[in-house]
Structure 1
Amino acid sequence: MMNYSQPRTSQNLHFCYESSNKSCPQYIYSMAVRVPLYIFFAAAILLTVFGNLLIIIAIAHFKQLHTPTNFLVLSLAIADFLLGTITMPPSMVQTLETCWYLGNLFCKFHNSTAVTLCTASILNLSFISIDRYYAVCQPLQYQTKITNCVTLVMILICWSLSVLTGFGMVFLELNIWGIEDFYYENIDCVGGCTLFQSFASSFTSSTLSFYIPGFIMIGIYRKIFLIAKRQARSIQASGCHKANSERSKTQSKMERKSTKTLAIVMGVFLSCWSPFFLCNIIYPVFYISPVLLDILVWIGYLNSTFNPMIYAFFYSWFRKAFIIIIFCKIYQPNSSRTNLFTN
Structure 2
Amino acid sequence: MAFRSNISTNLTNQFAQPAWRVALWSVAYSTVLTVAVLGNLIVMWIILAHKRMRTVTNYFLLNLAFSDVSMAVFNTLINFVYAAHGDWYFGEVYCKFHNFFPVTAVFSSIYSMTAIAIDRYMAIIHPLKPRLSAKATIGVIFIIWGLAVALAFPLCFYSTTRVLPRRTLCYVSWPRKTVDSFMYHIIVMVLVYALPLVIMAITYTIVGVTLWGGAIPGDSSDNYHGQLRAKRKVVKMMIVVVVTFALCWLPYHVYFLVTGLNKDLSRWKYIQQVYLSVLWLAMSSTMYNPIIYCCLNSRFRAGFKHVFRWCPCVHTSSYEELELQNRGLRPGYQSSMGTSVLSKDKSVRVQGNRPRLDPQTSPSV
Work out which of the residue numbers 101, 105, 128 in structure 2 matches 1:140.
128
| Secondary structure class of the residue paired with 1:192 | strand
| Secondary structure class of the residue paired with 1:172 | helix
Task: Note closer, same or farther for the CA distance 1:99–1:190 as it changes in structure 2 (3 Å cut).
Answer: closer
Work out which of the residue numbers 270, 283, 295 in structure 2 matches 1:313.
295
Alignment check: 8 A CA contact 2:230 2:339 kept? no
Partner of 1:75: 63
Is the counterpart of residue 5 in structure 1 residue 5 in structure 2? no
Q: Which runs of 5+ in 2 are unaligned?
A: 174-179, 311-315, 331-337, 342-365
The alignment yields a C-alpha RMSD, in angstroms, of: 3.2
Q: Which runs of 5+ in 1 are unaligned?
A: 8-14, 16-24, 177-182, 236-242
Partner of 2:155: 170
Partner of 2:350: none
Is the counterpart of residue 49 in structure 1 residue 37 in structure 2? yes
Q: Distance in 2 between matches of 1:230 and 1:285?
A: 44
CA offsets, 1:25-50, max 9 Å, x none? 25332232222221221111100000
- 1:123 Cα deviation (Å)? 0.9
Q: Distance in 2 between matches of 1:121 and 1:327?
A: 30
CA offsets, 1:276-310, max 9 Å, x none? 12333343331244522332222111111111111
Alignment check: 8 A CA contact 1:61 1:336 kept? no
- 1:199 Cα deviation (Å)? 3.0
Partner of 1:323: 305
Is the counterpart of residue 269 in structure 1 residue 252 in structure 2? no
Question: How many residues are aligned here?
Answer: 304
Is the counterpart of residue 199 in structure 1 residue 182 in structure 2? yes
Q: Distance in 1 between matches of 2:325 and 2:235?
A: 25
- 1:60 Cα deviation (Å)? 0.5
- Equivalences for 1:96-175 in 2 at 5 Å? 96-141=84-129, 144-166=130-152, 168-173=153-158
Work out which of the residue numbers 206, 231, 246 in structure 2 matches 1:255.
231
Partner of 1:297: 279
Task: Note closer, same or farther for the CA distance 1:279–1:225 as it changes in structure 2 (3 Å cut).
Answer: same
| Secondary structure class of the residue paired with 1:27 | coil
Alignment check: 8 A CA contact 1:136 1:256 kept? no
CA offsets, 1:129-175, max 9 Å, x none? 1011112222232xx22322331222111111112212x121333x9
Task: Note closer, same or farther for the CA distance 1:281–1:267 as it changes in structure 2 (3 Å cut).
Answer: same
Runs of 4+ in 1 over 6 A off after TM superposition: none
- 1:252 Cα deviation (Å)? 2.3
- 1:89 Cα deviation (Å)? 2.1
Alignment check: 8 A CA contact 1:49 1:85 kept? yes
Q: TM-score, normalised by structure 1?
A: 0.79
CA offsets, 1:58-78, max 9 Å, x none? 000111111101111111011
Partner of 2:24: 36
Partner of 2:354: none
Alignment check: 8 A CA contact 1:47 1:305 kept? yes
Task: Note closer, same or farther for the CA distance 1:198–1:36 as it changes in structure 2 (3 Å cut).
Answer: closer
Task: Note closer, same or farther for the CA distance 1:202–1:319 as it changes in structure 2 (3 Å cut).
Answer: same
Alignment check: 8 A CA contact 2:294 2:300 kept? yes
- The structure with the greater share of residues assigned to helix is 1
Alignment check: 8 A CA contact 2:42 2:304 kept? yes
Partner of 1:89: 77
Identity %: 23
Q: Distance in 2 between matches of 1:252 and 1:204?
A: 39
- 1:194 Cα deviation (Å)? 4.5
- 1:203 Cα deviation (Å)? 1.6
Alignment check: 8 A CA contact 1:52 1:78 kept? yes
Alignment check: 8 A CA contact 2:86 2:167 kept? no
Aligned residue identity for 2:221: S
Task: Note closer, same or farther for the CA distance 1:31–1:294 as it changes in structure 2 (3 Å cut).
Answer: closer
Is the counterpart of residue 220 in structure 1 residue 203 in structure 2? yes
Q: Distance in 1 between matches of 2:283 and 2:239?
A: 19
- 1:84 Cα deviation (Å)? 1.2
Partner of 2:334: none
Q: Distance in 2 between matches of 1:202 and 1:136?
A: 35
| Secondary structure class of the residue paired with 2:59 | helix
CA offsets, 1:306-328, max 9 Å, x none? 11111111112111111223449
